[in-house]
Amino acid sequence: MTTLAAKRRRILVTGGTSGIGLELVRRWVKRHEIIATGRSFPEELSDLAAQNPGLTHSRTDQAKPRDAAGRIAAAITARGWEMLDHAVLNAGTGFVCDPADEDIARILETLTTNLTASMVLAHHLFPLLEKGGGTLTLIGSTAHRGAPAFASYAASKAGLNGFARSLREEWRGRVRVQILHPGPTRTTMHQKAGLDTGRAGAFFTPPAAMAAMIDHAIARRVAVRRLSFLRYWSGEGLLARGL
Ligand SMILES: NC(=O)c1ccc[n+]([C@@H]2O[C@H](COP(=O)([O-])OP(=O)(O)OC[C@H]3O[C@@H](n4cnc5c(N)ncnc54)[C@H](OP(=O)(O)O)[C@@H]3O)[C@@H](O)[C@H]2O)c1
């Protein structure tokens, strides 16, 4: 008898080239079919793809949402997928700065990559997810409640939160929608954003544990969840069962 847990799923992971997204790819690559996206194609991911034919990469830049949607559609067609079981919209960026000094190009890059592109992708992926009885997972942030030196980033994640909650009602019974809000996680995002996390960084959740909590929340089909360091310490980051 085929159990739900044994089902090989078709999964899109945006931002699958580093940090949390790459850890999600690592978790699922043996058991599921995956398309991972990002502007880069780092060695860790190309090595994984070389060892696992069920993993392919699509080079996309979400700062150009229409182009990104077209490339992802082409990657899905190239795999011969007519439906999707899961889309995890995880790609994200941000820049630490006093909002009074923030460069307009960076404001636009943050909002476009994190929010507009996610909205455009959700729109394009809807028919595939509906056909597959699938789940759309949006990766938000605990910063959606406000983060002073990260104002544009916080705004993008607050927008994503409102978008996800609206879609969840609108698409009820057709596509499941969830938004997961990670707390601080030990990836290179902070360094790229220009933030020195100092000693506090040692207390950030390891990315593999964050990926485990995300996987668990997807498998449990929770609507909204904050994924905190406390949850990690409670054991969920290690013991959580996922897809
Ligand atoms: N780390 C944290 O503390 C934390 C906390 C809360 C929420 N989050 C969220 O978790 C998600 C993953 O972050 P992370 O910590 O794993 O950071 P990360 O290691 O910097 O990974 C970010 C991913 O997003 C992709 N990306 C960034 N800009 C892109 C663009 N313009 N077009 C396409 N892909 C783009 C990157 O790929 P390329 O570089 O290859 O383009 C990379 O794969 C993000 O949405 C982030 O906001 C992180």
The verdict on residue 17 lying in a domain is yes
Q: Flag whether pLDDT at 4 surpasses 50.
A: no
Atom of ligand 1 nearest to the CA of 42: 40
The verdict on residue 179 lying in a domain is yes
pLDDT for 233: 80
Count of beta carbons in the 10 Å neighbourhood of residue 127 = 14
**Average pLDDT value for residue range 56-85:** 98
pLDDT in tens, 95-145: 999 999 999 999 999 999 999 999 999 999 999 999 999 999 999 999 999
The verdict on residue 1 lying in a domain is no
Atom of ligand 1 nearest to the CA of 40: 40
Q: Flag whether pLDDT at 1 surpasses 60.
A: no
Question: What CATH number should be reported for the domain holding residue 204?
Answer: 3.40.50.720
Number of separate domains in the chain: 1
| 218 conformational bin, left if phi > 0, alpha if psi -120 to 50, beta if neither | alpha
Per-residue exposure over 20-45, b if at least 16 CB sit within 10 Å of its own CB, e if not: bbbbbbbbbbebbbbbbbbeeeeeeb
pLDDT in tens, 154-189: 999 999 999 999 999 999 999 999 999 999 999 999
Ligand 1 pocket test: pick from 12, 185, 210 the residue with the most ligand atoms within 8 Å of its Cβ. Answer: 185
Q: Flag whether pLDDT at 146 surpasses 60.
A: yes
Q: Whose CA is nearest to atom 20 of ligand 1?
A: 189
Q: Flag whether pLDDT at 193 surpasses 50.
A: yes
The verdict on residue 124 lying in a domain is yes
Helix 117-132 and helix 151-170, axial crossing angle in degrees, nearest 10: 30
Find out whether 88 and 218 touch, Cβ atoms under 8 Å. yes
Instruction: Indicate the pLDDT class of residue 219, thresholds 50, 70 and 90.
Output: very high
The verdict on residue 2 lying in a domain is no
Find out whether 141 and 228 touch, Cβ atoms under 8 Å. no
The verdict on residue 98 lying in a domain is yes
How many CA atoms does the CB half-sphere of 183 hold within 13 Å? 18
Give pTM, 2 decimals.
Answer: 0.96
Instruction: Indicate the pLDDT class of residue 231, thresholds 50, 70 and 90.
Output: confident
- Which residues constitute the domain of residue 221? 7-239
Q: Flag whether pLDDT at 2 surpasses 50.
A: no
Q: Flag whether pLDDT at 5 surpasses 60.
A: no
**Average pLDDT value for residue range 2-31:** 90
Tokens 């929340």 map to which residue?
217
Tokens 């790459």 map to which residue?
22
Q: Flag whether pLDDT at 30 surpasses 60.
A: yes
